[in-house]
Structure 1
Amino acid sequence: MTAPLASVLFVCVHNAGRSQMAAGFLRHLAGDRVEVRSAGSLPGDRVNPAAVEAMAEIGINISAATPKVLTAEAVQVSDYVITMGCGDVCPVFPGTHYLDWTLDDPAGRGVDAVRPIRDAIRARVEALIAEIDTRRS
């Protein structure tokens, strides 16, 4: 087995919606080529059911995912840290590539409202994979 091309950490406040969908997409689309983590500055107690349903509609199962607390160690070992509304709580380390994705928060919304957020995340994840592939080739 070859080493992953990069490691990516997705961060949002509750690690229950946006970051979980992004992690699900990256695992699905990049497979073992990229190491994937997600975390939250104030993790919720479960993944947003509407996010789980929206992802299941397109064949990606994130129902077993659990929100995790953001740690400095997780940031430090990641090549990319992608924040989604977590503000300034993310620690900054030299050599890490930081991106901030402005996306609506799916918290408290039904699946109809979550679908466009899901689709926006997919487009950004696809662009991220292209960037990783370009940087590593």
Structure 2
Amino acid sequence: MSGRPSVLFVCVHNAGRSQMAAGFLTALGGGAVEVRSAGSAPADTINPAAVQAMAEVGVDISTQAPKVLTPDTVQTSDVVITMGCGDACPVFPGVSYRDWELADPAGQGVEAVRPIRDEIRTKVQALLAELGVEHAG
């Protein structure tokens, strides 16, 4: 990785886990990381329980929208993290791939989403440390 690392979070619907991870990395990375998220079958809107759970910890993802996963988005990323959803990503040399096993918040209320949110925050903080980026909060 040269310069600012690029991280792509991938989930099928790009409406919950990947959006929460992107929100945390954006908030905690302080601009030191290029943050993207996408899905192989994007939903129409972000999961409202995910939006609410993130707002509770001061991270606003309400203006985000699910985006479609493209080979170019994967190829131009330094790190690609799939979110425990069995999503098939194209594989390119030089890209580091990870899979984070996380419960699916789809159809869940905010009470069920909070522990997923907290686990994602912990994983994002570890990722920042691995990338050598100081994190805020």
TM-score band w.r.t. shorter chain: over 0.9
Q: Give the structure 2 partner of residue 42 of structure 1.
A: 41
Aligned partner letter, 1:25: F
Distance 1:86 1:78 in 2: 19
Distance 2:124 2:38 in 1: 17
Give per-residue Cα distances to partners, 1:57-86, cap 9 Å, x unaligned: 010000000000000000000000000134
Distance 1:86 1:53 in 2: 22
Distance 1:62 1:83 in 2: 19
Residue 85 of structure 1 pairs with residue 84 of structure 2:
yes
Q: Give the structure 2 partner of residue 95 of structure 1.
A: 94
Show structure 1 runs of 5+ residues with no match: none
TM-score, structure 2 length as denominator? 0.93
Which residues of 2 match residues 1-137 of structure 1 at below 5 A?
A: 4-133=3-132
Distance 2:117 2:12 in 1: 17
Distance 2:102 2:41 in 1: 18
Length, aligned pairs only = 132
Distance 1:105 1:31 in 2: 27
Q: Secondary structure at the match of 2:8?
A: strand
- Would you identify which runs of 4 or more consecutive aligned residues in structure 1 move more than 4 Å? none
Given that 2:40 and 2:87 are in contact with CA atoms closer than 8 Å, whether structure 1 keeps it comes out as: no
Aligned CA-pair RMSD:
1.3
Show structure 2 runs of 5+ residues with no match: none
Given that 1:4 and 1:35 are in contact with CA atoms closer than 8 Å, whether structure 2 keeps it comes out as: no
- Identical columns (%): 69
